[in-house]
Structure 1
Amino acid sequence: MNYFKTGLLLAALTGLFMAIGAALGGQQGMMIAFFVALAMNAFSYWNSDKMVLRMHGARQVDAKSAPELHQMIAELSRNAELPMPKVYIIDNPQPNAFATGRNPENAAVAATTGILQTLSKEELAGVMAHELAHIKNRDTLIMTVTATIAGAISMLANFAMFFGGNRNSNNGGIGIIGSLAIMILAPMGAAIVQMAISRTREYAADRMGAEICRNPAWLASALDKIAGAAQRIPNMSAERNPATAHLFIINPLSGQRMDNLFSTHPNTENRIKALMQISQEMGSGGAAPASPQHGGPWSQPQSSDPRGPWG
């Protein structure tokens, strides 16, 4: 994982935020933006998990309310040598999942009801292993801070017309043209940086997730199913909070399959090919697990094997 590159991208995002402040208020505006960015980062550090989970209406579950899911994540956490994260379920028909939290000791994983109904146990284990990999790599804090700053840049850009559009360039304002440029280009720049950060981390999380669940084909099969369903089933909470889209294992906003700078996630087919290559390296075989014909495994009796199928 290239943390130096990620640090540069985060610095670029903060710099963009400050540049907008400078355009709207000169040097004073830039300093205000700088201190606002610091305050936002501090707030995100302590409240990132609660904030994102609240945005998507997640509810916490435990070993009594969701025994199979809780047991699965507990077993995978032991494989990953991680503390047990908090477990959440989101009432959302789109199959998807994400992880959040400032560190492994204060982390959470969230799965939608759609993913519980769609995937087999093995496939879901692959997805949850991927999310635990984000936690182990400490991606969750960086990606949530990125979402916070990107969202703030978009809001600040929307205010550009009010702050700068009512003044002409002769009086020190940025003018209508400058305001329009900020409104269009600033969110685009933030999105590019945000997506670049996300893309650099997804492949690494796929690889580590495959190692945690011990079968890359499980995750490959899950990605194929989730990507197909995400094109058909809208995720309204993600639509209302698009700055959090990169947190999900598959882009919840659209079914884009272009592996370019403007994609929230890497091309799903490329991810699957990479996982199949990892499968060959691990010698675990390339066959994807068979899925139950009637939805996911959560209406089925709990396995009597305490190790689970991935132990």
Structure 2
Amino acid sequence: MNTLKVILLLASLSGLLMLVGYFVARGTGVVIALVLSALMNFGSYWYSDTIVLRMYSAREVSRQEAPVLYNAVESLSARAKMPKPRIYMISNETPNAFATGRDENHAAVSVTSGILKILNKEELEGVLAHELAHIQHKDILIGSMAATVASAVVLLSRWAVFFGNDEGKGMIPAIAMAIIAPIAATVIQMAISRSREYEADAGSAQITGKPEALAGALRKLTLAARTTPLNANPSTAHMFIVNPLSGDFIRTLFSTHPPIEKRIERLQQMEAAQKD
């Protein structure tokens, strides 16, 4: 169901792109904007692991440096039948985690030092399995696809103000397009991100067989994020297992993550189904 939802959302983004492109340049603008946007996002996708890991000064760790973390990732990767990703540590007391990399053979899992202090073994495994599921589901690629189309919509919408001004007759609809289209594209892009979080939660439950362990971790991580938000770049907020930014109205409206209550409720339903 979530996969179908993502396909429909991506189709909606593409439809919005074609609509804006037709308004601006009857198709020519679509091609130009899409090519430029694809080139920018291709570079971001290809080098995403290096860019993000350097952004947070993440350091690769060995088994000797972080035996509990290393052994957990190694064991879970074997259960998930996937190559073990590289393991990184961010020196920060706010507990959180994310995965990056373009595919299973070029992936990395990074956690903050604070996460090891508040989660027990099963909860930590639930979080790590969630990140492994993101890698398995190729969520970095899906996110890049959504970003490519959404950024093309934004670019074309800016052009609308110039190309839509036919002696003043088209200025009002052009301005409306320049305002509404980017908002719509962002909302759709965020909806795709939220769907992938649900899928990763389900993937974690499948890998560990313990949905409640991830639910317990999400409770602790969300509380910590609210009391001590991570100084994170907003452009990377969608990558973390829980939103690292403090919640205000605008960030809630355009949230990259589903409501934590709904995520926990779904995990509890999986736990109950296992016991039936």
TM-score (norm 1): 0.73
Question: Percent identity over the alignment?
Answer: 46
Corresponding residue SS for 2:59: strand
Give the corresponding residue for 1:246: 238
1:169-199 Cα shifts (integer Å, max 9, x gaps): 23489648844752x4344222211221122
Q: Which amino acid aligns with 1:250?
A: V
Deviations 1:268-305 (A, max 9, x none): 11211221221122239xxxxxxxxxxxxxxxxxxxxx
Match of 2:85 in 1: 85
Q: RMSD of aligned C-alpha atoms?
A: 3.3
When residues 172 and 196 of structure 1 are mapped into structure 2, their CA distance, relative to the original with a 3 A threshold, is: same
1:213 matches 2:205: no
The answer (yes or no) to whether the contact 2:160–2:177 under 8 Å persists in 1 is no
- 1:234 matched to which residue of 2? 229
Shift in Å at residue 43 of structure 1? 2.9
Q: Structure 2: which amino acid aligns with 1:123?
A: E
Amino acid at match of 1:201: R
Cα drift, residue 7 of structure 1: 3.2
What is the match of residue 261 of structure 2?
A: 269
Whole-Å Cα distance in 2 between the matches of residues 62 and 185 of structure 1? 49
Give the 3 Å change call, closer, same or farther, for CA 49–232 of structure 1 in structure 2: same
Separation (CA, whole Å) in 2 of partners of 1:74 and 1:126: 14
TM superposition shift of 1:153: 5.7
Aligned positions of 1:7-22 closer than 5 A: 7-14=7-14, 16=16
Deviation at 1:117, TM superposition (A): 2.8
For residues 172 and 227 of structure 1, the distance between their equivalents in structure 2, rounded to whole angstroms, comes to 50
State the number of aligned residues. 274
Return the alpha-carbon distance in structure 1 between the equivalents of residues 218 and 14 of structure 2.
32
Q: Secondary structure at the match of 1:88?
A: strand
Unaligned runs of 5+ in 2: none
Give the 3-state SS of the residue equivalent to 1:265 in structure 2. coil
Distance 1:82 1:117 in 2: 27
Which amino acid is the alignment partner of residue 283 of structure 1?
K
Number of the residue aligned with 1:202: 197
Question: Unaligned stretches of 5+ in structure 1?
Answer: 285-311
Check 1:132–1:66 CA distance in 2 against 1; reply closer, same or farther (3 A cut).
same
Give the direction of change, closer, same or farther, for the CA distance of 1:127–1:152 in structure 2 (3 Å limit). Answer: farther
User: Contact conserved, 2:41 with 2:147, CA < 8 A, in 1?
Assistant: no
Pair 1:124-2:119 in alignment: no
Q: Which stretch of structure 1 is more off in the superposition, 78-87 or 39-48?
A: 39-48
CA distance in 1, matches of 2:17, 2:53: 25
Task: Please give the residue correspondences for 1:184-203 in structure 2 after superposition, counting only pairs within 5 Å.
Answer: 184-203=179-198
What is the TM-score of this pair, normalised by structure 2? 0.81
The match for 1:170 among 166, 186, 189 is 166
| Alpha-carbon spacing, 1:179–1:126, altered in 2? closer, same or farther (3 Å) | same
Encode CA deviations 1:55-113: one digit per residue, 9 max, x unaligned. 44433223233232111111111111111011122233432212122222222112122
Q: CA 1:267 to 1:79, structure 2 compared with 1: closer, same or farther past 3 Å? A: same
> For residue 269 of structure 1, what is the amino acid of its counterpart?
E
The answer on whether the counterparts of 1:153 and 1:190 sit within 8 Å (CA) in structure 2 is: yes
Task: Return the alpha-carbon distance in structure 2 between the equivalents of residues 15 and 61 of structure 1.
Answer: 44
Q: Is this contact kept in 1: 2:232–2:244, CA < 8 A? A: no
Structure 2 CA distance for aligned equivalents of residues 94 and 147 of structure 1: 27
